[in-house]
């Protein structure tokens, strides 16, 4: 599977400042929504696109990327930002009504039947 090119430019092979992530989150290490995990799916709302001109660069990039549903981990990888930073920014954008977040059902992930069905499906395609 080939990923579409990221609309976000960033340092490739270079080093980023350790201070920068701290500045992006306003000094916060944790967001308001603890339910935002790596696998949480994020999709932009129309209000997010309408507010693009008012958002900071990174927040605007998240809204653009999430025109199609992406996980928090995918956003982090494509933007080359620390996962914690992305979780805080996504939480802020969702709190402002600019993104929708969809938290996966953790009970299904722990259900033995679900795990067996996934395992059988993977064996069938390999």
Report whether pLDDT(10) > 90. Answer: no
Measured between alpha carbons, how far is 94 from 107 in angstroms, rounded to an integer? 24
Specify the pLDDT at position 25: 62
How far apart, in whole angstroms, are the C-alpha atoms of residue 100 and residue 14? 32
Query: What gap in Å lies between CA 40 and CA 57, rounded to an integer?
Result: 22
Tens digits of per-residue pLDDT, 58-110? 999 999 999 999 999 999 999 998 888 899 999 999 999 999 999 877 666 67
Report the predicted TM-score, pTM, of the whole model to 2 decimal places: 0.68
57-65 and 83-95 helices cross at what angle (nearest 10)? 80
**pLDDT score for 59:** 93
The domain locations on the chain are 34-125
Banded pLDDT at 49 (limits 50, 70, 90): very high
Spatial separation of the C-alpha atoms in residues 84 and 75, rounded to whole Å: 11
């Amino acid at each position: 599977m080939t990923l579409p090119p990221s609309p976000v430019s960033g340092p490739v092979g270079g080093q980023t400042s350790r201070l920068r992530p701290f500045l992006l989150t306003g000094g916060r290490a944790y967001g308001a929504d603890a339910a935002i995990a790596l696998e949480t799916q994020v999709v932009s709302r129309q209000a997010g696109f309408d507010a693009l001109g008012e958002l900071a660069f990174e927040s605007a990039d998240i809204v653009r990327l999430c025109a199609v549903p992406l996980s928090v981990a995918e956003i982090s990888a494509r933007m080359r930002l620390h996962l914690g930073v992305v979780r805080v920014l996504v939480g802020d954008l969702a709190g402002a009504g600019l993104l929708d977040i969809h938290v996966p059902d953790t009970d299904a992930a722990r259900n033995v039947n679900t795990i067996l069905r996934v395992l059988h499906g993977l064996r069938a395609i390999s």
